[in-house]
Amino acid sequence: GAVVSQHPSRVICKSGTSVKIECRSLDFQATTMFWYRQFPKQSLMLMATSNEGSKATYEQGVEKDKFLINHASLTLSTLTVTSAHPEDSSFYICSASRQGVDTQYFGPGTRLTVL
Amino acid sequence: KQEVTQIPAALSVPEGENLVLNCSFTDSAIYNLQWFRQDPGKGLTSLLLIQSSQREQTSGRLNASLDKSSGRSTLYIAASQPGDSATYLCAASNQAGTALIFGKGTTLSVSS
């Protein structure tokens, strides 16, 4: 149990386009989902926290108008990278947690490459 | 602000050796600490979670310890195998239900 999926696993896009990444909790209701970003040889850095039905909370330095997060249901959160640029190329990983459970369940990640 | 550091950044050992990976954190008021494994280009696999009230957790050949007073955690891997080769990440949570703060990881290579 407690499986989190991400789609797509890899995406290559041209500079200036927008890319949507989905994060789904397959067998549980995720009250909170987190979006992380990992650059090569670096640690995972939290981008934003999203709670179902409310606006996401962004970390300092993360542009909320560039990285749009929607958490419309208890099983789905989406991250849209708008007007992507090469410096946005990274590994994006989501995690989900459920009320009363300490463990966070991580998705397999999405590799974004912006040409 | 919580910061997590992992030493060493990389480690190479021969098969069969016992080894210790180190993690330190700056704020001892942690809620829990987790160890993850990450294979190249892949997501995270949770290995062990230690609550702040616990001193250690064990799973198979893995043993993780937590010393809040010194701000340290260690991951002990017994009888290492080539399949253990991966990057090991340590992450701290300061409150229930909040995001994890990750170290940069230790990349382990076990040679046969």
Q: Does A111 touch chain B (CB under 8 A)?
A: yes
Q: pLDDT-derived band of residue A1, with 50, 70 and 90 as boundaries? A: low
In A, which residues are within 8 Å of B4 by CB distance? Answer: 43
Rounded CA separation B109/A51 (Å): 38
- State residue A103's pLDDT score: 79
- State residue A68's pLDDT score: 95
State pLDDT tens for residues B11-53. 999 999 999 999 999 998 999 999 999 998 888 999 999 999 9
Task: Tell me which residue of B59, B68, B70, B61 sits closest to B92, measured CA to CA.
Answer: B68
- State residue A53's pLDDT score: 81
Which DSSP letter does residue B102 get? E
Report the gap between the CA of B85 and the closest CA in chain A (Å). Answer: 16
Rounded CA separation B7/A1 (Å): 33
- State residue A31's pLDDT score: 85
- State residue B105's pLDDT score: 95
Nearest CA in chain A to B39: A108
Tell me if B49 and A103 make a contact (CB, 8 A cut-off): yes
Q: Does A60 touch chain B (CB under 8 A)?
A: no
Once rounded to an integer, what is the mean pLDDT over residues B101-109? Answer: 96
Once rounded to an integer, what is the mean pLDDT over residues A37-65? Answer: 91
